[in-house]
Amino acid sequence: MMVCLWLDAYCVGVFASRQMAWACERHLAFMAIGGQERPDFRTISDFRKLHLEAFKDVFVPVVRLAGAAGLVKLGNVSTDGTKIQGNASRHKAMSYGYMKKAVERLREESETLVTAAYQQDEAEDAALGSRRGDELPAELARREQRLATIEAAMRRVEAQAKAAAEAERQRRTAAEAERAQTGKSRRGKAPQPVRETPDDKAQSNFTDPELHIMRTTTKGWDYCGHAHASVDATCQIIVACDVTDASNDKQQAEPMAQATLSILAQAGMERPPDESGPVQAIPATLDNGYDSAAAVEALETLGLDPYIATERQRHQGPQTEAPETPATVHERMAAKVRTPEGKALYARRKVIVEPVFGQIKEARGFRRFLLRGLDAIRGEWRLICLTHNRLKIWRYGSAQSAASCRREITQWA
């Protein structure tokens, strides 16, 4: 009953446990699911927390059901990402520079309070009676807890800075290798040395430390989870989904491709063999955010046929001419997308994956994660994508039934 309750609630845009409990008492559709049961909102919320990972086992059968109904043909699998606001306030964050000042201030205040406490020991000893007299004062305890919280946030920011520095070294090494391959020289000024120490403006959130502040589509900044989805072109069935804390798509092409192939294998769906015998590669369309030589090579190794935009093309703007003999992976992909087949496939991307995010955000109203922590957010996004597929299967069945009725009426007339 609880599984049906959660799945149906997410399908109709009810995501909060309190709203769900209210609906179980007043809404006929929810009352039909619960029967005589009226679960408390705490019970509903705890069920999701305890069994969120178990919903992962429901995702594959739903994809398999969609495939059996003919809704998944694997003619074009499009991948994209969207930023969804996390359950974390911008006002509960602190920059690294302010953290250093706050740590110094709290340590000075703690030392002052400890000194004052020692000076009052003799005067308080007579009034304390049987108590030891060395209990930590409330003000000092609060400052000690605050100090520990800020120091933990500083360590997180420092670890992130080291990871970013290592990624930048790898990027520079790859860029240098590509320049050596093509014989091109570096343009502009020499890059600054890689720094492993955090910038004073680097922030960490105390409410949900696993989320990073990201630029949103409204040209603002907020703490978000970057939700990704791979969508089949036939009926917009989501065949793979994930959430990351990265603000861009650069490193997500290979993980999403692996997740897609894993889900399809578990669902028992593969591309049919062509006339020569081997299984056909699955066409995969991705926008410019996923473009990199490593991503193209990884997708081809996995058995996909990638079509990735190599640059942002302005509307009504001149198109960059491709070299006659592509020398790099980037140039080869640019030439591939400009072929008639590539243009036809890539032109469908915006009507495959983009409407899915619109249906989730606008039609069902899911614009903010309710849970905290990256693992919990991944489970919540998986539940959203699972119910999206259920809606597609239900609507496809309704459309088929309506078409069958129309055929029967036509024949009878």
The 3-class SS string of 50-83 reads HHCHHHHHHHHHHHHHHHHCCCCCCCCEEEEEEE
- What's this model's pTM, rounded to 2 decimal places? 0.79
User: For residues 77 and 51, what is the distance between their CA atoms, to the nearest angstrom?
Assistant: 30
**Short-list 352, 383, 91, CA closest to 227:** 383
> The tokens of 22 are what?
């209210």
**Short-list 254, 241, 281, 266, CA closest to 74:** 281
Number of independent structural domains in the chain: 3
394 and 248 within one domain: yes
224 and 180 within one domain: no
User: For residues 14 and 371, what is the distance between their CA atoms, to the nearest angstrom?
Assistant: 14
Question: What pLDDT is stored for residue 322 in this prediction?
Answer: 57
Altogether, the residues listed in the chain come to a count of 413
- The residue ranges of DSSP E strands in 23-108, in sequence order, are 77-85, 93-95
175 and 193 within one domain: yes
62 and 43 within one domain: no
> The tokens of 55 are what?
């919903």
Residue 15 lies in a domain: yes
User: For residues 348 and 10, what is the distance between their CA atoms, to the nearest angstrom?
Assistant: 28
Question: What pLDDT is stored for residue 409 in this prediction?
Answer: 47
258 and 198 within one domain: no
Dihedrals φ, ψ of 383, to 5°? Answer: -65, -40
Residue 289 lies in a domain: yes
pLDDT by position in tens, the chain (length 413): 999 999 999 999 999 999 999 999 998 989 999 888 889 999 999 999 898 888 888 899 999 999 988 899 998 999 999 999 888 877 777 777 877 787 778 777 777 777 776 666 656 565 555 555 555 567 667 777 777 887 787 887 888 788 888 888 887 888 788 777 777 777 778 788 888 888 877 777 778 888 888 887 766 788 889 999 999 999 999 999 999 988 888 889 999 999 999 999 999 887 766 655 566 789 999 998 898 888 999 999 998 999 998 877 665 555 666 566 777 888 888 888 888 999 999 999 999 999 999 999 999 999 999 998 899 999 999 999 999 999 999 988 766 655 655 565 456 54
Residue 409 lies in a domain: no
Residue 226 lies in a domain: yes
Instruction: Give the end of a domain, one of 205, 238, 266.
Output: 205
Report how far Cα 94 is from the mean position of its chain's Cα atoms.
23
Question: What pLDDT is stored for residue 281 in this prediction?
Answer: 87
179 and 284 within one domain: no
96 and 70 within one domain: no
Distances (CA, A) of 200 to 65, 93, 101: 51, 13, 11
Show the domain range for 178.
Answer: 92-123+136-205
Q: Are strands 93-95 and 221-232 parallel, antiparallel or unpaired?
A: unpaired
**Short-list 201, 198, 252, CA closest to 225:** 252
Residue 129 lies in a domain: no
User: For residues 376 and 116, what is the distance between their CA atoms, to the nearest angstrom?
Assistant: 45
